[in-house]
Amino acid sequence: MSWWQGFLINLQFFTIIPVRREIPMEQKQLKRSIQTFPVLGILQGILSAALLYALIEWSPFSTLAAAFILWFFMIALTGGIHLDGWMDASDAFFSYQDLEKRLEIMKDPRTGAFGVLSVIVLLSARFLFIYEIAHQAGAISYVLIATIPFFSKSVMGAFLVMIAPAKEEGLAFFFQKAVQRSCLWSYPVYFLLAAGVMFAVSIETLLYFLVLTGVTLLVAWLMKRKITTWFRGITGDVLGASVEGVEVFVWMTLWLLYYFVMG
C-alpha cells in the first residue's frame, strides 16, 4: 500500500496527472516515493513512446508535426517543473558568483538572461534529436525512447540519497528527510527488469540499452562531482537541472547511434 502511495506522491509532485486523493506525507510514504522514481520515469517514457508511435503510424501529421507534438507533450506532462530548475541552476552557475550568492540566485523567482538562453538551447537540441529520430523510427526506437525518463528519474533518486543538501529548506530537503541508503535497493531490480525487456525485444536492443546506461552513469558521475563544487550540494532546482541534463544527453546518444550505428 505504501509503495502505491509513494508512486501517487510522484504523480502529484512531478506530473500534471490528477490524483484525487489525500496521501499522507510521512517518512514511510516519502521513502516509497524515492524508491518509485524509476517507475514514474518508465511511465512517462511509455506515454511518450506510445504517443510518437500513434502520431507516426496512425495520424495524418508529418514527421515534423509529430516531433513537435511529442516535444510539447513532454514539457506539458511534467508541468515544466524540471525546466524551471534548469533555468534557475543555469542563472546561478553562469553568474560566476560565490556559493552563497548562487544559492540566493536560485531562490529568486525571476529568470535571468542565462536561464532563458540555456533553456532555449536545451529545448532546441531536444527537438532536433526527437525530429531526426522520429524521421527514421522503428520498433527499437520506441522501446529505447521509453527508457529515457527512466534513466533521468533514477539519477534524481540516486542524487537525493548520495548528495548532501545545499540548504535545509525546499522540495529536495523535504524528500531528503526520508532518505536512507536502502531507498536505492530497488533501482538495480528495475534495471534488470528493463534489461530483460530489452533482451526479449532483441540482442541489438539490449546492447543499445547498455550504451545508454553507460552514458547515463558517466553523465551522472560528472554531474555529482560538479554539483558539490558549484552548489555545495543539491536543491530542488539542481535536481531538476540534473533530470533535464541527463535526458538531453541520452537523447543525443540515441541520435548519434542512429547516425553512426543504427543507420
Q: What percent of the chain has pLDDT over 90?
A: 56
Q: Is residue 233 part of a domain?
A: yes
Predicted confidence (pLDDT) per residue in 121-162, tens digit: 999 999 999 999 998 888 899 999 999 999 999 999 999 888
Q: Is residue 226 part of a domain?
A: yes
Q: Is residue 136 part of a domain?
A: yes
Question: d(Cα 136, Cα 73) in Å, to the nearest integer?
Answer: 20
Q: Who contacts 232 (Cβ-Cβ below 8 Å, separation ≥6)?
A: 99, 103, 166
Q: Is the pLDDT of residue 98 over 90?
A: no
- Residue 186 and residue 35 in contact, taking contact as beta carbons nearer than 8 Å: yes
Total domain count for the chain?
1
Q: Is residue 17 part of a domain?
A: no
Q: Who contacts 44 (Cβ-Cβ below 8 Å, separation ≥6)?
A: 15, 74, 77, 78, 149, 153
Q: Is residue 245 part of a domain?
A: yes
Q: Is residue 6 part of a domain?
A: no
Q: Backbone dihedral region of 170: left (phi > 0), alpha (psi from -120 to 50 degrees) or beta?
A: left
Q: Is residue 26 part of a domain?
A: no
Q: Containing domain of residue 160, as a range?
A: 41-262
- Residue 83 and residue 119 in contact, taking contact as beta carbons nearer than 8 Å: yes
The four Cα atoms 138, 141, 142, 146 give a dihedral, to 10 degrees, of 180
